[in-house]
């Protein structure tokens, strides 16, 4: 996945990741409730999360919603569509 970090400077700081291209082999549709993932906020701040709900199009980790195919966060209030604009994305946790 190739991403570009573009901070939006307004009254508040709102980091937006614009997706230029992505690895289409990356797919999160096999995640299930109870799986552990990492959320990368602005591409650099990591948070470990637990999958709490899985729908046809979305994965929920507590209050956060992610596109089930791309793993990009969806937040309608911030204009993050989970396809081309987002502020965070999922990464699988590789267990040894």
Q: pLDDT per residue over 25-72, tens digit each?
A: 567 889 999 999 999 888 788 999 999 999 999 999 999 999 998 899
55 or 85, greater pLDDT:
55
* Straight-line distance from the first to the last Cα atom of the chain, in angstroms, rounded to the nearest whole number: 23
Structural domain spans, the chain: 2-92
Query: What pLDDT, on the 0 to 100 scale, is given for residue 66?
Result: 95
- Which of 19, 24, 4 has its CA nearest to residue 81? 19
* pTM (two decimals): 0.75
């Amino acid at each position: 996945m190739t991403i570009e970090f573009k901070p939006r400077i307004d009254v508040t700081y709102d980091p937006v990741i614009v997706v230029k291209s992505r690895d289409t082999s990356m797919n999160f549709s096999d995640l299930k409730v109870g799986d552990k993932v990492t959320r990368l906020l602005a591409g650099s701040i990591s948070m470990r999360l637990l999958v709490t709900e899985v729908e046809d199009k979305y994965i929920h980790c507590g209050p956060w919603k992610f596109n089930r195919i791309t793993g990009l966060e969806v937040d309608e209030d911030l204009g993050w569509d989970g396809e081309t604009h987002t502020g965070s994305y999922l990464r699988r946790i590789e267990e040894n």
